[in-house]
Amino acid sequence: MTDRGWVAARPLENELMPKPKKYLFDFDRTKARGYSRHNYLRLDMNEGVSGLPADFVSRALAQIDGRWLATYPEYGALQTKIAAHNGLALENIVLANGSDAAIKYIFDAYITPGDRVLYTDPTFAMYPVYCHMFGADGLSVPYREDFTFPWEEFIDRMVPGLRLAVLVNPNNPTGQALPAAQIFEMIAHAARNEILLLVDEAYFYYYPETVIRAVTDFRNLIVLRTFSKLCGMASLRLGYAAACPEVIENLRKVRPTYDINGLAVLFGERLLDDPELIKGLIREARMGKDYLVRKLSEAGIPHREGSANFVLIHCRGRVNAIVSGLAEMKILVSSGFTQTFLKDYVRVTVGSREVMERFWQAFIKLWQGAHA
């Protein structure tokens, strides 16, 4: 015994180890990177590369003092601004700690073990993860080899008994988007078959078509948005779900009391108060993407522009060399896709014209060196 009354430590192998839930035994999650990305040009995770303007950040931070930090956040004003921004009512909106947390609210509120959930392959990684966590039967429909959405196959799987169907639009990493008219067909089909349809619009500002206002007409529709992409607030973790009031109330019931921090709320409010800033961010991203696509086309390099905030560049047989070469020049891009039709591509997040010029100068040097 020590002077504090504790039992002397024994070897860990003699201790009883509490067992986790069964699903964790065969559950593998991608681990956090073992290195800092902050010394790199980060074009690998589809963030808002350039970030919010410094003067905007300074004005928002000037509103914070010790008393503000000591107070639990209030959500009403931000929810009201988000609702108005989308032409909806307050009761159509619930905030989330990033849109991936909103996905968990949906699974928590609506998915029980054995329920069937439909999504594409590839899709946002958290959908199969939450299927595993909640004991759902995840059903995936592969994208076609030509990158087109598997419409007939997906609709054919949307039959009575399916609990949830998920459409990420535009999709990551294919970059493909279904037009709103086609999504409305899917919403109506899901409603006839009593299926909850989740439309994930994480890349909405880059692709302006949306079905968010349809939540006032369809009780089976949930639309997700995030402030992590164009809005440059990935580190603040802010997103939201839009749905009919009954669905929103169910999501609110499973949400932790104060899981969205006050700083995220403050920046979200100030951003929505400045629609010209949002328009400027959209223009900046479009100019950068147009520049990169033009340079790739002029150089005859095969690529796919897509509708999101990234471009796929075909690097047959040279993906690893391109990725590692760029990393040596302090530029990160994404690769390692498991789907056959994607494995020879690198995914490059787009930023401002200046950012893309820096990327292009590094990339074309590597590309030409590989072809020397």
Q: Is 46 left (phi over 0), alpha (psi -120 to 50) or beta?
A: left
Distance CA 200, CA 349 (A): 19
**DSSP string of 287-319?**
HHHHHHHHHHHHTT--EE--SSSEEEEE-TTTH
- Assigned token pair, 235: 């580190």
Same structural domain, 221 and 238: yes
Same structural domain, 73 and 109: yes
Provide the pLDDT for residue 369. Answer: 81
Distance CA 131, CA 136 (A): 5
Work out the burial of residue 278: count CB atoms within 10 Å of its CB; fewer than 13 is exposed, 13-18 middle, 19 or more buried: middle
User: Which residues have CB under 8 Å from 352's CB, separation 6+?
Assistant: 49, 50, 284, 285, 287, 288
Closest to 46 in 3D by CA, of 125, 117, 105, 139: 125
Instruction: Report yes or no: 78 and 239 within 8 Å, Cβ to Cβ.
Output: no
Helix (H) or strand (E) run with residue 348 in it: strand 345-349
Is residue 172 situated within a structural domain? yes
Cα 17–chain centre separation: 36
Is residue 155 situated within a structural domain? yes
Provide the pLDDT for residue 271. Answer: 98
pTM (whole model) above 0.75? yes
Block residue for tokens 């639009």: 169
DSSP label of 334:
B
Instruction: Report yes or no: 175 and 307 within 8 Å, Cβ to Cβ.
Output: yes
Same structural domain, 301 and 220: no
In this structure, the dihedral spanned by the alpha carbons of residues 276, 101, 251 and 194, taken in order and rounded to 10 degrees, is 100
- Give per-residue pLDDT as tens, 145-172: 999 999 999 999 999 999 999 999 999 9
User: Which residues have CB under 8 Å from 8's CB, separation 6+?
Assistant: 1, 2
pLDDT digit string (tens) for the chain, length 372 residues: 455 555 555 555 656 667 777 777 777 767 666 667 888 899 999 999 989 999 999 999 999 999 999 999 999 999 999 999 999 999 999 999 999 999 999 999 999 999 999 999 999 999 999 999 999 999 999 999 999 999 999 999 999 999 999 999 999 999 999 999 999 999 999 999 999 999 999 999 999 999 999 999 999 999 999 999 999 999 999 999 999 999 999 999 999 999 999 999 999 999 999 999 999 999 999 999 999 999 999 999 999 999 999 999 999 889 999 999 999 999 999 999 999 999 999 999 999 999 999 999 999 999 988 654
- Choose the final residue of a domain: 242, 274, 306: 274
In this structure, the dihedral spanned by the alpha carbons of residues 84, 87, 93 and 98, taken in order and rounded to 10 degrees, is -80
- Choose the final residue of a domain: 210, 242, 274: 274
Provide the pLDDT for residue 317. Answer: 86
Structural domain of 302: 41-50+276-370
Is residue 227 situated within a structural domain? yes
Domain count, the chain: 2
Closest to 42 in 3D by CA, of 53, 34, 51: 51
Same structural domain, 270 and 280: no
Instruction: Report yes or no: 332 and 37 within 8 Å, Cβ to Cβ.
Output: yes
Block residue for tokens 């919403």: 187
- Choose the final residue of a domain: 234, 254, 274: 274
Is residue 23 situated within a structural domain? no
